Structure 1
């Protein structure tokens, strides 16, 4: 009698676990819609994507994500988080998505879920406008070049410097700090994504100039980042569907032209490397 009762209890326990497992299976899109908001993280010191102007958040990222949020029917919550804390914070669920432009790399694709590209991210170089000694990317050999720490551009700069025979790479917490040192003559150049550097030169042509050609890395793209796993699948699809809709109706083009002065057609699928 006792054994039979125990057996029934065990079966009931297994069934309960099964029900609990089903109930616990998460769907991030459903959670976001239930909350009525998307909690984001970005670094608001990465013009033209993310900026604080007189204490107000603005930029290309905000314009794009405002529209995506409208398509999803939720309100965006924007948080200013240092870049080096963003992906770790995403992993421990401090926020729903990282909207700071993150370069898609093979290594990151294994660890995170990426949305469709939102901009070109090909690594490039900028110098002081008065510098006539350096023009081509290979001219940075033996020079000191600044770059934001923890970025794909940092890794590409390191690899490129090694291929040239040596470049001193100086890391910065923000691109603004690197630009300040370049303007003050403490750096020979700064490496970053082409859109960021194009925006910098467009707004401060008396101080900065692009190398010719500016790009030296393999073509790459920026995207937004979600946590890995099936829980994020519907969330990723909803965001991608919104981006494609915005691409087809011209909103992406208008936002790019507003902030970058030009339009770059982007892949309609997430790159695999």
Structure 2
């Protein structure tokens, strides 16, 4: 064997070793080695994520604190605008998006979802003084606010088209939409049932749910990881923790603390 041949063989071996290491890279191992999970969420999405005098709190934080304990690492919480979260996840700026993300068939093709953490079925809220709007179909021809880039936005658009037309106004945060609704600049706001239930519970003098509030197909919120082989063990660790917390009552207690009620959630990731 010549020196040149030996050199080529050595270089090939190093390349194969590097490729093998990359292919076997495991996100959970990396997280445990670092001792932390770097997360992203939008801290303006009550009751899941809120800033109270600068302190992060909410249903998401309580759930993920417990999940992190089960995995044996510390959570690092970052306040990121919703529209930047999934793109940031894809380029590796954080390990997971813990902002409640609605599970949809399109997103399932692109991302790895955890087990559901809450009901996400789209619903409607109105000003408490506006008794002309009661059922969902009453929004025909009206102006309805919704957070941009959400599954609720797409569901509202589709529902509006089925009614013959709804003026959909997009907002960066739900808080901005609620403010315009209270000021009379909107007829209604669409969002997930847990968010709107929490809003009405805390501001019943200003807001009221439609009756019925929900429309469209039942959907669920979950957390999101990158869709890659190395993330499979990380997703399993989170799901195992959520199932353990469901069985020992921690999920129920956290739901009741923030939502005032308990909803049984699927024990598998819904297919759509």
Q: Could you state the TM-score of these two structures normalised by the residue count of structure 2? A: 0.98
- Structure 2: segments with no counterpart, 5+ residues: none
C-alpha displacement of 1:144: 0.1
SS of equivalent residue, structure 1 residue 134:
coil
SS of equivalent residue, structure 2 residue 110:
coil
Note the 1:1-273 alignment, pairs <5 A.
4-25=2-23, 26-273=25-272
Paired with 2:18 and 2:217, the residues of 1 have a C-alpha distance of 47
Paired with 1:165 and 1:7, the residues of 2 have a C-alpha distance of 73
SS of equivalent residue, structure 2 residue 224:
strand
C-alpha displacement of 1:158: 0.3
Paired with 1:133 and 1:5, the residues of 2 have a C-alpha distance of 88
Paired with 1:114 and 1:24, the residues of 2 have a C-alpha distance of 23
**Deviations, residues 145-180 of structure 1 (Å, cap 9, x unaligned):** 000000000000000000000000000000000000
**Deviations, residues 81-104 of structure 1 (Å, cap 9, x unaligned):** 000000001011111100000000
C-alpha displacement of 1:35: 0.4
SS of equivalent residue, structure 1 residue 127:
strand
C-alpha displacement of 1:196: 0.1
C-alpha displacement of 1:246: 0.1
SS of equivalent residue, structure 1 residue 46:
coil
Paired with 1:268 and 1:101, the residues of 2 have a C-alpha distance of 17
C-alpha displacement of 1:136: 0.6
Q: How many residues align?
A: 271
Paired with 2:5 and 2:165, the residues of 1 have a C-alpha distance of 71
**Deviations, residues 58-116 of structure 1 (Å, cap 9, x unaligned):** 00000000000000000000000000000001011111100000000000001111000
Two-structure CA RMSD over aligned residues (Å): 0.8
Paired with 2:6 and 2:190, the residues of 1 have a C-alpha distance of 67
SS of equivalent residue, structure 2 residue 198:
helix
Return 6-15 or 259-268, whichever deviates more: 6-15
Paired with 2:32 and 2:14, the residues of 1 have a C-alpha distance of 28
C-alpha displacement of 1:23: 2.1
- Structure 1: segments with no counterpart, 5+ residues: none
C-alpha displacement of 1:14: 1.7
Return 219-228 or 9-18, whichever deviates more: 9-18
Q: Could you state the TM-score of these two structures normalised by the residue count of structure 1? A: 0.98
SS of equivalent residue, structure 1 residue 110:
helix
